[in-house]
Amino acid sequence: PGGAETQAQNNTSMQKVKYAIAVASGKGGVGKSTVSVNLACALQRLLEEEGKSGIGIMDCDIYGPSVPLMLGAAGRPEIANDMIVPIENFGVRIMSMGFLIDEDTPVVWRGPMIMKTIQQFAQNVDWGELEILVIDLPPGTGDAQLSLVQTIPLEGAVIVTTPQPAAFNVARRGARMFDKVDVPIQGVVENMSYLETPDGERQAIFGEGGGAEIAEGLDTELLGQIPLDPSIREGSDRGIPIVISDPESPAAKEFTAIARQI
Ligand code: ADP
């Protein structure tokens, strides 16, 4: 009976979402949220060009819900008809545990409690009509992530990694997780791929080839390589993603090229 009920709730929340895609990583700090946020904004811009709208982002990262900050969104979401209403900025509908939990709550205490509520949370958001929902998963590939991807009907997943070959195992574990729930991996995004010096030389600060290697190992595409660029971090810190603030920058163009493949 529990299953049926879950399914029903699921339908209410995700009914008008045409396409849900998860952004995952084997570990934290690789830029998963940065990629999620910039992809959501790039997708929104692409839709806008077609005279359409309807992009959402769901931040499921409980240990560091950074999406609201990165998108300059704050406040408490409203509740209407027992559903949480997303907060919108840059034309993107945003929902995050960050809107709901107190920053001062200790992470050790939050963990187990929120892992349970996060599933409910995922089912109780009134997204309205959405073309694409980008879901920023918590970093890692453990049980919590697995139960989340089982809760949300996903069309595909994107794996974010850094270029060092050592990251291979972690990303592969992520891939197995999606395999278990029959969600196709749409590709790999390699982040912090290189630093471009003023004379145009590309320095491989974090090594090379990791993204391509993982994509090959998973039998999927390398969707793109995002440079290491201080303005990406600055944009996130001031709540205006680089795709919005500087759409002609190489990083923004790469995010847009990746969005086109989704
Ligand atoms: P994750 O979600 O994987 O934990 P974040 O997206 O929070 O990682 O990124 C971690 C930090 O690295 C943030 O301060 C972010 O601004 C920065 N960052 C991410 N990608 C880049 C990049 N390509 N260039 C510069 N800084 C980046």
Helix or strand or coil: residue 242?
A: helix
Q: What is the pLDDT of residues 196-252, one digit of tens each?
A: 998 989 999 999 998 998 898 888 999 999 999 999 999 999 999 999 999 999 999
The answer to whether the CB of 186 falls within 8 A of the CB of 157 is yes
What's the pTM? Answer: 0.92
**Average pLDDT of the chain?**
87
How distant, in Å, are the alpha carbons of 35, 68, 85, 97 from that of 76? 24, 11, 10, 11
CA–centroid distance, 27 to ligand 1, in Å, is: 12
Q: What is the pLDDT of residues 59-84, one digit of tens each?
A: 987 777 899 999 999 999 999 988 99
Q: What is the pLDDT of residues 138-180, one digit of tens each?
A: 888 887 788 888 888 899 999 999 998 765 676 677 778 898 8
How far is it, in rounded angstroms, from Cα 142 to Cα 67? 21
Q: What is the pLDDT of residues 205-220, one digit of tens each?
A: 999 998 998 898 888 9
Geometric angle at alpha carbon 143, from 138 and 144, rounded to 5°: 40
| Per-residue model confidence (pLDDT) at position 50 | 95
H or E element, residue 217: helix 210-217
Residue 44 confidence (pLDDT) above 90: yes
Query: Measured from the CB, is residue 193 less than 6 Å from ligand 1?
Result: no
The answer to whether the CB of 8 falls within 8 A of the CB of 123 is no
Helix or strand or coil: residue 113?
A: helix
CA–centroid distance, 35 to ligand 1, in Å, is: 8
Helix or strand or coil: residue 232?
A: helix
How far is it, in rounded angstroms, from Cα 36 to Cα 245? 16
Average pLDDT over residues 23-29: 89
ipTM of the complex: 0.99
- Tell me what percent of the residues of the chain surpass a pLDDT of 70: 87
Helix or strand or coil: residue 79?
A: strand
Residue 121 confidence (pLDDT) above 90: no
Residue nearest to atom 20 of ligand 1 (CA): 31
CA–centroid distance, 31 to ligand 1, in Å, is: 4
Most confidently modeled of 20-29, 33-42, 73-82, 208-217?
33-42
Query: Measured from the CB, is residue 240 less than 6 Å from ligand 1?
Result: no
Domains in the chain with CATH codes: 24-260 (3.40.50.300)
Residue type at 89 in one-letter notation? N
